[in-house]
Amino acid sequence: MKMDSATVEIDGSVMEGGGQILRVSAALSCITGSAIKIIKIRAGRSTPGLRPQHLTGLQLVSDLCSGSLQGASIGSTDISLTPGKVRSGNHTADTQTAGSVCLLLQAALPCALYADAASQLLLKGGTNAEMAPQIDYTVKVFKPIVEKFGVHFDCDIRMRGYYPKGGGEVAVTAQPLKELQPVSMTDRGNITKIHGRAFVAGVLPFKLAKDMSAAAVRTIRKEIKELYINIQPVQEKEKACGNGNGIIIIAESSTGCLFAGSALGKKGVYADKVGIEAAEMLLRNIRHNGCVDEFLQDQLIIFMALAKGTSRIRTGAVTLHTQTAIHIAEQLTQAKFTITKSEDELSSGVTYIIECQGSGVVNPNL
């Protein structure tokens, strides 16, 4: 792998303009060996620049690639990352807030795949936090699908942490690979199973979990009559730090596609409302007949871009996050994406095929 001497400049304010640009850019910099400079970070947000979670994620990626990171401080809008060799072994990242461990993993996991041996990532922060996947989503939806690319990782939830304190802890072990395999997911088949968990932690009463579950089941029942729906109410005991409540509901299809709807409780919001919100999110994501939900869509782009060969994924409406990830992936790799609209007789909605000629990055350390 030749080290590219030219630094690639990334505009952090384009398109979705959030932390995702940082995660995808930093990971691809680490993997391809291209130095990057990201400017105008989160320029349009109410709190522009790096937040603790973004800073922790960048430091983790820099640590993983023996890199040198400039400009990395809270509120900074410009950073540079010059990557070195990807290092296996133990890496710890602590947001010291309820910053999402799942978002830390989004940035770090692709990097760890290109190390010379297994990596252990100890990630601390929020496990079930707003504006981010819940750890249950990462384990139950993201993990099985990303494994189709040849990825192998284990995720041990040691402690759950909620807003505002965090205090959660997840231990991830990732195995390196020679190259990622392309994935084709174009035929959804039928929804065969719907299950989930509704949880309360800390001082919150168990009744909240039962109410979230019951309201979610009622909502799904209106639309899907033929399936048994099992949403387990759970009282989080010793493995939880702080107070929180929430729900995640997962649907599985006959061809192995996975979809989710989730919601977190907030002060003053009725439990029923939380359950209904998650149920409606799930229903919205299975109406269109695509093979991934709106959240998995953008998380798969980096893997499609790195894989050797052509990947094809059928989706519902293509999100701004996904378009942004594609934009960054095309800037930092040789991958080429095309999005084709496909009118489907079966479902009312339109679906799209995201196709990618992957760049076929081979692990130079293995």
Q: Is 60 helix (H, G, I), strand (E, B) or coil?
A: helix
CATH code of the domain covering residue 230: 3.30.360.20
Q: Kindly report whether the peptide bond that precedes residue 83 is cis, defined as omega within 30 degrees of 0.
A: no
| 260, 286, 312 - which closes a domain | 286
Instruction: Verify that 53 and 178 share a domain, yes or no.
Output: yes
For 225-281, write each residue's pLDDT tens digit.
999 999 999 999 999 999 999 999 999 999 999 999 999 999 999 999 999 999 999
Instruction: Verify that 228 and 96 share a domain, yes or no.
Output: no
Under 8 Å between Cβ of 101 and 127: yes
Is 4 a member of any domain?
no
| 250, 268, 286 - which closes a domain | 286
Instruction: Verify that 257 and 340 share a domain, yes or no.
Output: no
Q: Given phi > 0 = left and psi -120 to 50 = alpha, else beta, which region is 89?
A: left
For 340, phi then psi, to 5°, come to: -120, 130
Quick one: CA dihedral 99, 101, 102, 105, positive or negative? positive
Q: Which residues are annotated as a binding site for ATP?
A: 106, 295-299
CATH code of the domain covering residue 336: 3.65.10.20
Instruction: Verify that 151 and 37 share a domain, yes or no.
Output: yes
For 296-329, write each residue's pLDDT tens digit.
999 999 999 999 999 999 999 999 999 999 999 9
Q: Name the token pair of 60.
A: 């983790």
Strands of the sheet containing 229-236, edge to edge, are 229-236, 191-201, 244-253, 258-264
Measured distance CA(219)–CA(319) in Å, rounded: 25
Is 33 a member of any domain?
yes
Instruction: Verify that 299 and 333 share a domain, yes or no.
Output: yes
Measured distance CA(46)–CA(17) in Å, rounded: 12
Is 363 a member of any domain?
no
- Is pLDDT above 80 for 4? no
Measured distance CA(93)–CA(34) in Å, rounded: 23
Say which DSSP state 141 is in.
I
Instruction: Verify that 147 and 198 share a domain, yes or no.
Output: no
What's the confidence (pLDDT) of residue 2? 43
Instruction: Verify that 314 and 177 share a domain, yes or no.
Output: yes
Q: Work out how many domains the chain is built from and give that number.
A: 2
Q: Which residues are annotated as a binding site?
A: 106, 295-299
What's the confidence (pLDDT) of residue 348? 66
Measured distance CA(140)–CA(227) in Å, rounded: 20
Is 36 a member of any domain?
yes
| 286, 314, 336 - which closes a domain | 286
Is 70 a member of any domain?
yes
Is 53 a member of any domain?
yes
Measured distance CA(208)–CA(199) in Å, rounded: 8
Instruction: Verify that 297 and 152 share a domain, yes or no.
Output: yes
What's the confidence (pLDDT) of residue 256? 98
Is 263 a member of any domain?
yes
What's the confidence (pLDDT) of residue 261? 98
For 155-205, write each residue's pLDDT tens digit.
999 999 999 999 999 999 999 999 999 999 999 999 999 999 999 999 999
Mean pLDDT of 3-12: 84
Q: Which residues are catalytic?
A: 321
Q: Is 25 helix (H, G, I), strand (E, B) or coil?
A: helix
Residues in CB range of 225: below 8 A, 6 or more apart: none
Mark 46-67 as b/e (b = at least 16 C-beta within 10 Å). eebbbbbbbbbbbbbbbbbbeb
- Is pLDDT above 70 for 3? no
Is 78 a member of any domain?
yes
Q: List beta partners, residue 154.
A: 173
What's the confidence (pLDDT) of residue 343? 79
For 98-155, write each residue's pLDDT tens digit.
999 999 999 999 999 999 999 999 999 999 999 999 999 999 999 999 999 999 999 9
Domain of residue 272: give its range: 189-286
Measured distance CA(119)–CA(141) in Å, rounded: 22
What's the confidence (pLDDT) of residue 297? 98
What end-to-end distance do the CA atoms of the chain give, in Å? 13
What's the confidence (pLDDT) of residue 349? 75
Q: Name the token pair of 101.
A: 């461990």
- Is pLDDT above 60 for 209? yes
Q: Name the token pair of 362.
A: 């081979």
Instruction: Verify that 75 and 155 share a domain, yes or no.
Output: yes
Closest of 2, 207, 170, 202 to residue 93, by C-alpha: 170
pLDDT range class, residue 1, cuts 50, 70, 90: very low
Residues of the chain with pLDDT > 70, as a percent, come to 97
Instruction: Verify that 269 and 324 share a domain, yes or no.
Output: no
Instruction: Verify that 175 and 251 share a domain, yes or no.
Output: no
- Is pLDDT above 90 for 344? no
Instruction: Verify that 205 and 264 share a domain, yes or no.
Output: yes
